[in-house]
Amino acid sequence: MTISILTLFKEMFVGPFDHSIIKNAIKKNLVKINFINIRDFGIGRHKIVDDKPYGGGKGMIMRVDVLEKAIAQAKKLSSIKQKVILLDPCGKTFNQEKAVELSKLSHLIFVCGHYEGVDARIKEFVDEIISVGDFIVTGGEIPTMLIVDSIVRLVKNVLPENAIDEESFSGMTFGKSYLEYPQYTRPEKFKKLTVPNVLLSGNHRKIKKWRENQALNTTKKYRPDLINKSKTEKRKKKQ
Ligand SMILES: C[S@@+](CC[C@H](N)C(=O)[O-])C[C@H]1O[C@@H](n2cnc3c(N)ncnc32)[C@H](O)[C@@H]1O
């Protein structure tokens, strides 16, 4: 998979992409990450990338002509199974289902807005708009890091086989998009807290059943909305 990131602040990515799973995926050539400096497409001698908003108001808006040129350049890198994604609070909220969908593509192009945002006309030049939640961050860089991290770990051969099978939201936690069951490791007893006996029993059938119940209980406790979502999806499939 190739990931192209259009940004004015490439330095922000130093660190998050240089460790752990992403670092290994890059090293093994499973993922290639390109940075495209939006400033390179800026206007005039000073490479201007933004301007004041028409109609007045605070802050600076990133110019559509500059962004469009940067997108066109990124698109040339690889055109098979490609998607241009704008990070913007107006987009659909990112989730695991979207991560799985995007992990199957070959070239993802992320457009990071900054300052007061981007000229609205840029939406005509992207395939999809994604938000990371109902809050505002300074730029599209941190949302892109989050999204790229969640996608890269789903790319084939990045993690060992079956490693993500029973993860929260995977849709595979016992066939539903529930949260994961609770996990424990050593010590067996910590202060007054013990590991559930069933996990020490060696009885895999019982452990599986216990985990299934716990996944349901954890979801009911922390995210009851997911139970309703699962029921609605099941109803829709039947119709
Ligand atoms: C300060 S924000 C602009 C916010 C904009 N003025 C508004 O009120 O919606 C600058 C950039 O950060 C990114 N951004 C901010 N919040 C985001 C979110 N929740 N999801 C995705 N991107 C976000 C976008 O790329 C945006 O263009």
Q: What is the pTM of this model?
A: 0.95
Banded pLDDT at 21 (limits 50, 70, 90): very high
Q: The domain 2-152 belongs to what CATH superfamily?
A: SPOUT methyltransferase, trefoil knot domain (3.40.1280.10)
Of 8-17, 184-193, 203-212, 229-238, the least confident = 229-238
Of 36-45, 202-211, 221-230, the least confident = 221-230
pLDDT of residue 172: 64
Best probe residue, ligand 1, of 85, 87, 119 (max atoms within 8 Å of C-beta): 87
What are the extents of the domains in the chain?
2-152, 165-239
User: Does 116 contact ligand 1 (Cβ within 6 A)?
Assistant: yes
d(CA 43, CA 39): 9
Distances (CA, A) of 94 to 14, 53, 155, 160, 214: 23, 28, 17, 24, 26
d(CA 210, CA 206): 6
Query: How does pLDDT run across 95-137, given as a tens digit for each residue?
Result: 999 999 999 999 999 999 999 999 999 999 999 999 999 999 9
Distance 122 CA to ligand 1 centre (A): 14
What fold characterizes domain 165-239? Trp Operon Repressor; Chain A (1.10.1270)
User: Among residues 79, 50, 45, 86, which one has the least CA distance to residue 65?
Assistant: 50
User: Does 42 contact ligand 1 (Cβ within 6 A)?
Assistant: no
